[in-house]
Amino acid sequence: MSVPYENPDYNQTFRYCGKTRLCKTDNPYDVDIAGIGVLISFIATAAFTLLTIVLGYLCEWLPGTNTNQVDQAVILTITTFVKFCFRPSLSRIEKLREKLRDRLSSRSFHKKHFPNELARKWSAALERFILAMSDQQLVTGIAVLVTIYTKACEISIYSFQMAAALAWFSSTTHLATLTILTTYFDNHRVARNFRALVMIAMMVMLAAAQIISSSESVQHSSTDNYFGCALKKSFKLSPKDGYEAINLSLIIAWLIASYSSRMISLYSPHRDSAQSWPMRQLARLFRLELEEPTEEDDSLAKLDQVVEAVDARLRAGPLRRSPFLRRLCVAYTYFFALAGAIERAFTNSFLWHLIWLFFGATFGIGQVISIRKDYTVPYRKDQEVETLNKWGFGQILPLVLLALPVLTGLEAYFETKDEIEQHPLNRDRTQSSASSTSSKDAADFEMVALPSETEDSITPLSHRHTNTSLANTGSVYDLPLARVILVFYIVLWLGLSQLVAVSAATNFSDLGLMIPLVMVLAGFYIWSVVVFDILELLNAFRRKKKQKGAR
């Protein structure tokens, strides 16, 4: 967003909010909204939540989430490198390469990194902490938004924009927690329904705050003017230029898409389906039966079958006398069929959700930095430093309240730790391992491994387990080209989303060089997701037609 400029006409007496007064405030910096303690509290809460989710993802402890081949490849690669970094040795380089080659093969994907019972207990503890953070973010976000709307006549433009940026932080963090707590809310429907209503209210108020912050009325006013005066004197909600319009469209689209997807995941019984929500609705409209993808669809045999079918059709067509063009078309089909399979797995992975959560968090940080750095009034610099950077009770209290969810997390951690240590199976395992003279697996794991559980020894928890089942031997994910394509997708989507977030939070005019990258990613996404969805719908129509013909 561009920096507002000072309009001399605003430095005059004007009637607004039932009073006649100057538009400029005596002190535009509301310490209860933009103080240093408040900023640290919001940013630290978002950082704690996202860090917890990332650690739970890498340890496979996230409750109620499903992982696929892409997630397993990322988890195995990162955890292996982290272990190597903490135990560096030149003699282990070759062992590291062999371990990665073996672990990334589909034959070893089925092996669990942590025993099932251990993972379930840590998952339950993690769920308690994430739930506490989710509740706190929802309440603080609503409180900030309600405050700026009820005090519109008393706060400055600077305070309004800073509060909107902090509310964005709360919204992003809350959306991140909802990705984990879907199964929890299945068992607590009253809490789910209440949260859904509050989420809708928060989305509407946050979208309105973003629209107002990017409007011509606010952008053409000095940040030390009263917010109510700026809207009353020149009420223009349209962005002041094309870049601001693109910026606003992107942010509103992301906001609507994020909240819509979370609402669908809270209420839809088909949240684990690999088919997209629009595709399921089209199939429901035309009464079609969609087939869920199986491991056979991602097998090397299936890929070879597709390539052979294309080659046979080309041999019988006009390219039968042009071997070079025929091989080129076959190679093209092979590459895009493989890229499509990788892209579909990537967009259905939990990593895909993480990338867009990082996008929202980066945009929030960029907004706060931009407002704090560029939106202050130069001749009020001393007033800014004296007001915003001064530590008082109102700045210390948010940091103290930040300890509440941390204490909840520590309590859950120590309770789970003691429960695991006192478990009979764990004591038996500890005694047997102490009596043995050598244990090769003990050097590879930092945690005590539990034996495989039986139906009698396990008490099911209220949430579902993390699904770590992956492809069988002979999967397309074993191909080196598939891994290269996966790395390409991850780096490009992650890098591009972060660049867009930073540019959108500061100045969207710097995005011209990223247009080719956007076109490349859009092309791959359309080919691998949209085209394949259309083909699946056509196949469903054919199956329905055959069933009618058989009758």
**Higher pLDDT among residues 363 and 275, named by residue:** 363
Does residue 62 contact residue 466 with C-beta atoms inside 8 Å? yes
**Torsions phi, psi for 239 (to 5 deg):** -60, 155
Residue 206: is its pLDDT beyond 70? yes
Q: Is 154 helix (H, G, I), strand (E, B) or coil?
A: coil
User: The pTM is what?
Assistant: 0.74
Question: Which of 60, 180, 58 has its CA nearest to residue 112?
Answer: 60
For the chain, how are helix, strand and coil distributed in percent, rounded to 5? 70, 5, 25
Strand bridging mode 19-22 / 13-16: antiparallel
Measure the CA–CA gap between 528 and 536, rounded to whole angstroms: 12
Q: What is the CA radius of gyration of the chain?
A: 28
pLDDT category, 189, cuts 50, 70, 90? confident
Measure the CA–CA gap between 353 and 343, rounded to whole angstroms: 14
Question: Average pLDDT for residues 412-432, to the nearest whole number?
Answer: 64
Q: What residue type is 274 in one-letter code? A: A
Measure the CA–CA gap between 255 and 379, rounded to whole angstroms: 36
What the block records as the tokens of 149 is: 């709307």
Tell me, what's the pLDDT at 549?
76
Question: Which of 286, 359, 338 has its CA nearest to residue 479?
Answer: 338
Tell me, what's the pLDDT at 83?
72
CA distance readout (Å), 471 to 1, 187, 344, 345: 46, 31, 14, 11
Does residue 303 contact residue 338 with C-beta atoms inside 8 Å? yes
pLDDT category, 240, cuts 50, 70, 90? low
Cβ neighbours for 518, distance < 8 A, ≥ 6 positions apart: 496
Q: What are the tens digits of pLDDT across the range 146-182? A: 988 888 888 888 888 888 888 888 888 888 888 788 7
Q: How far apart are the first and last CA of the chain?
A: 62
Helix and strand numbers (H, E) in the chain are: 22, 2
Q: What residue type is 79 in one-letter code? A: T
Measure the CA–CA gap between 437 and 123, rounded to whole angstroms: 33
